[in-house]
Amino acid sequence: MDIQPKSVHGIWSSRWTFILAATGSAVGLGNLWKFPYVAGTFGGGAFVLIYLVCILLIGVPVMMAEVLLGRAARKSPINAMHHAVVASESRSAWRYIGWVGISSALLILSFYAVIAGWAMDYFTLTARGALSEVSGDDAVLLFSNLVSNPLRLVLWQSTFLVLCFLVVAAGVQRGLGRVITVLMPMLFLLLIVMMLLAVMKGDFYSAWTFLFAFNVDSITWRAVLEAMGLAFFTLSIGMGAIMAYGAYMPAEASIGRTVLTVAILDSVVAVVAGLMIFSIVFATPGISPSEGPGLMFISLPVAFGNMTGGYILGVLFFFLVVIAAWSSAISLLEPAVAWLIEEKRISRPRASIFLSFLVWILGIGTVLSFNLAKDIKVAGFTFFDALDFLTANIMLPLSGFAIAIFVGFIMGHDLVRAQMVDLSSKYLERWLWLLRYLAPIAVLMIFSMGIYDKFSSV
């Protein structure tokens, strides 16, 4: 059987286009929002070190496997898994990995678009000077006014999804490729500019000490588990996006070196974002680095509104968040669009608009979870809570676990070797060992932690 078919969607123009696209998928709200507050909660430096080790030993091996599956078939995740199952003569149940990935991507996008809309709203608030000299109580009120207004949330959710539709509908090279090659350099440039401003206006020394001072006392079992989970999820593993992007990867590109480059860029963005945010936090009295999820939408606006040069920093920061969210969101829409094109033979624009509308409808449930339907709960879950728990704690870990097991044990060695021709036998065996043993154990621990956390608090 031909293990290297042609893609009907096109191929990235270069290895670096894939790197930028995969980095864009990985770099999102997780890097700019979750990483800083989780690092702050677990004490900084020691947590960052554990996180980086987990990226290398857990995230990179599974990401390589996901790219391998996509490139071997040159198809959407659903059809890529069908191709791999047939080629390896394995049980057909393994093909459901693709279905879980695409389903989780669409569910995540449905609430991701709503949260990205918050960032768009805050960008406009900051740009028109609404955060000038804002107090802590004012910041809480601003955020409360936003999430309690369903029409306002729907407006921003709709705007964000239209931006995603326009990119995906234009195709792999003319849409995704072109936009990514503009967005990602812009994101890196904005990070550098904001980092320089944070050094000049903030308390960079305290931020550096906080993130890189190695405090042995902060290394707890809980911190290790959190680092594992964050490393796994910030690389966009298990949601079909990386498998779909892998289908467009040039055949001559090295999967190992390319994925490692993506992981390094993703980690650099997370660490630089942490330094930037904590420089601002430590320069602002009354704000703690362990503020939690409210750090971005409540604490930072107070800092921006009350520091010299805060207007420029605030505008750049929320613009950066919007760009990061946009580059991630298009990767969540693409896998399902690719499948509709392959299976239903409909045009890319039609597939894109149909799925964008479906995601928009699902997103209304998330919008209402913060206002009109916030008191409607089933088993303690609002609609948003249920989607978040289902995807983050069940679907993604199980998908990542299944990918590791399938490529590590089930997929034929010759099929794997055909995509890893640049790896020596020694490094191939090391990668397979990490994929077969360390990664599945780590992912099961992440899965168990998420289930325990949710139901122990009920």
9, part of any domain: no
Domain membership flag for residue 388 = yes
The enclosing domain of 401 has a CATH number of 1.20.1740
Q: pTM of the entire structure?
A: 0.92
Q: State the pLDDT at residue 290.
A: 67
Beta bridge partners, 381, equal 378
Q: Which amino acid is at 221?
A: W
- DSSP characters for 369-417? HTTTTTT--BTTB-HHHHHHHIIIIIIHHHHHHHHHHIIIIIS-HHHHH
59 within a domain of the structure (yes/no):
yes
- Is residue 8 one of the residues assigned to a domain? no
Pull the structure tokens for residue 321. Answer: 């968040």
Percentages helix, strand, coil for the chain, rounded to the nearest 5? Answer: 80, 0, 20
Q: How does pLDDT run along the chain (458 residues), one tens digit per residue?
A: 444 567 788 888 888 999 999 998 888 877 887 788 788 778 778 888 888 999 999 999 999 999 999 999 999 999 999 999 999 998 889 999 999 999 999 999 999 999 999 999 999 999 999 888 888 888 899 999 999 999 999 999 999 999 999 999 998 888 898 889 998 999 899 889 988 988 888 899 988 888 887 777 777 788 888 888 888 778 888 899 999 999 999 988 999 999 999 999 999 998 898 898 888 888 888 777 766 667 788 888 988 888 888 899 899 999 999 999 999 999 999 999 999 999 988 999 999 999 999 999 999 999 999 999 999 998 889 999 999 889 988 899 899 999 999 999 999 888 899 899 888 889 999 999 999 999 999 889 888 887 877 676 55
**C-beta separation of 65 from 243 below 8 A:** no
Q: How many domains does the chain have?
A: 1
Taking residue 401's Cβ as centre, other Cβ atoms within 10 Å add up to 21
- 412 within a domain of the structure (yes/no): yes
pLDDT value of position 163: 96
Does residue 425 form part of some domain? yes
The boundaries of the domain holding residue 374 are 15-456
287 domain-assigned: yes
- Quote the CA–CA distance of 128 and 311 in Å, as a whole number: 9
C-alpha to C-alpha distance for 63 and 206, rounded to whole angstroms: 34
Q: Is the dihedral of CA 432, 437, 439, 443 positive or negative?
A: positive
Q: Name the one residue in this structure whose structure tokens are 């006392």.
A: 217
Q: What is the pLDDT of residue 244?
A: 94
Residue 1 lies in a domain: no
